[in-house]
Amino acid sequence: MHRLDIYICTKSKCTAKRVQLKLRAEDATLSAYNGPALLAAIRAFITAKALGDQVQVHEVTCMAGCPVGPRVDMIANAQRFMYFQRKTPTGRVDLISWNSVASIENAIEQHLQDC
């Protein structure tokens, strides 16, 4: 079985900007996260779901090619999916706008299925 690696940027531009999204699928409202808050929330979620053997969460201070924070990269089977704040979709399957993500939980489950 492969592992899902999640990289979360905490560089200053990811700390200064916020994204509104749902952490869990059943959340009724969106929550606002900056880079460090998103890191803490995803780490707590992975611990609560006991996914530590399948998912590793890493903090990074910068990721090349980052258009705007907060940014999260999920790597499954050597394929990188980049999640970031953008108003319009790029059309690339590996560049995913937060606007199109139902919840972080759903995104993690999708990548775990692909592992």
68-77 residue pLDDT tens: 678 899 999 8
In this prediction, residue 92 carries a pLDDT of 85
Predicted TM-score of the model (pTM): 0.89
In this prediction, residue 1 carries a pLDDT of 56
Mean pLDDT by 10 residues, the chain (115 residues): 88 82 95 94 97 94 70 91 81 87 95 84
What is the crossing angle of helices 104-114 and 35-48, to 10°? 60
In this prediction, residue 74 carries a pLDDT of 95
Q: What is the CATH number of the domain that holds 73?
A: 3.40.30
Q: Of how many residues is the chain composed?
A: 115
Q: Which structural domain, as residue segments, surrounds residue 61?
A: 4-114
Q: Which residue, among 88, 92, 42, has the nearest Cα to 68 in the 3D structure?
A: 88
**Total number of domains constituting the chain:** 1
- What's the Cα-to-Cα distance from 56 to each of 71, 91, 96, rounded to whole Å? 16, 28, 20
Q: Which pair of tokens denotes residue 28?
A: 């009724």
Q: How many CB atoms lie within 10 A of CB 112?
A: 17
